[in-house]
Amino acid sequence: MTRPRSMTSSRTRLARQRSRLPVGGRARGVALVTGAARGIGRAAVRRLSAEGFNVVAVDRGADDPRLPYSMGTMAELQSLGNERVVAIPADTCDAEALAGAVEIAERRWGGLDVMVAAAGVIAGGVPAWELDAEQERAVLEVNLYGVLTAARVGIPALLRRPEPRHGRFIAVASTAATRGLPMLAAYCASKAGVTGLIRALAVELGGTGVTANAVSPGSTRTSILDETARLYELASAEAFAAQQPHGRLLDPEEIAGLIAWLAGPESAGATGGDYPFDGGLAL
């Protein structure tokens, strides 16, 4: 099978990044965040770095030809770079490329303490049986397989930290994991898969010092919500505010606050959870 050009080029850029990286010291901890160019992933990078983490910010940095809306760009990803953040272009579904980003975290800062799987896409607007097969595949690959890939390459790095370790695997799910949303069946299925994966990981990681948790946002100001509004033929994403009991949309920075708490020492006793941050949408 011919490898997509975007995947090959991301690996080339990754190799160039590796060759330029110095070895640095460790701060509060080291985190890797996927889906970092925009939305919740971007907010998580900023919040974690502000709280003292060194962060590898990972994003594809290019559109997905299977989907009709714009993804995060290379310029948006690279704008995150500073003394605490290194921006790495990589497809979260490409295990080799993502493992390369993990390797950068280990070479530059000595290891990995937190893996945040925030990359996500959406497609729908029609009943499940009418959804274009390529769009369905894109949703399942990025939203679910991308989290599985993050676990496959990230958890071994978390476990490479010496005991007593305090590793964190955090996935961004959605209220859609538990609430049936019409004409978004693939998205609901992918997010339900994420929460099921988290429960299994929590059991498998028992006694290791590494926890696994999910965060389930409600309607949040992101490009995914804008695309959802388009799929539902709404004038704007603001229409979703009325569905949440607190009457407003959430901001990505709010979700990032919960991610930061889960990444910190205060959450050591929490594992296997699906934490709603949805303004009451799931009620």
For the question of residue 69 being annotated catalytic, the response is no
> What is the tens place of the pLDDT at every residue in 186-203?
999 999 999 999 999 999
Spot the catalytic one: 145, 187, 232, 275: 187
Residue 5 pLDDT exceeds 80: no
Residue 82 lies in a domain: yes
What confidence score (pLDDT) does residue 13 get? 57
Residue 18 lies in a domain: yes
Residue 282 lies in a domain: no
Structure tokens at 98: 């993502």
Domain tally for the chain? Answer: 1
Residue predicted with more confidence, 10 or 64: 64
User: What amino acid occupies position 48?
Assistant: L
Side by side, the strands of the sheet bearing 29-34 are 85-89, 53-59, 29-34, 114-117, 168-172, 211-217, 274-277
Query: For residue 41, what are the CA distances in angstroms to 4, 120, 136, 218?
Result: 24, 9, 22, 15
Residue 119 lies in a domain: yes
> What is the tens place of the pLDDT at every residue in 247-275?
999 999 999 999 999 999 999 999 999 99
169 contacts 115 by C-beta, under 8 angstroms = yes
What b/e readout covers 240-268, taking b as 16+ CB neighbours within 10 angstroms? bbeebeeeebbebebbbbbbbbbbbeebe
What confidence score (pLDDT) does residue 25 get? 45
Residue 99 pLDDT exceeds 70: yes
Residue 15 pLDDT exceeds 60: no
Residue 252 lies in a domain: yes
Residue 26 pLDDT exceeds 50: no
What confidence score (pLDDT) does residue 16 get? 54
Cα Rg of the chain, angstroms? 18
Domain with residue 31: its CATH number is 3.40.50.720
Residue 142, domain extent: 5-277
User: What amino acid occupies position 177?
Assistant: A
Residue 283 lies in a domain: no
Residue 263 lies in a domain: yes
User: What amino acid occupies position 215?
Assistant: V
For residue 21, name the pLDDT band (cuts at 50, 70, 90). very low
263 contacts 168 by C-beta, under 8 angstroms = yes
> What is the tens place of the pLDDT at every residue in 197-240?
999 999 999 999 999 999 999 999 999 999 999 999 999 999 99
Which residues share a beta bridge with 117? Answer: 171
Residue 167 lies in a domain: yes
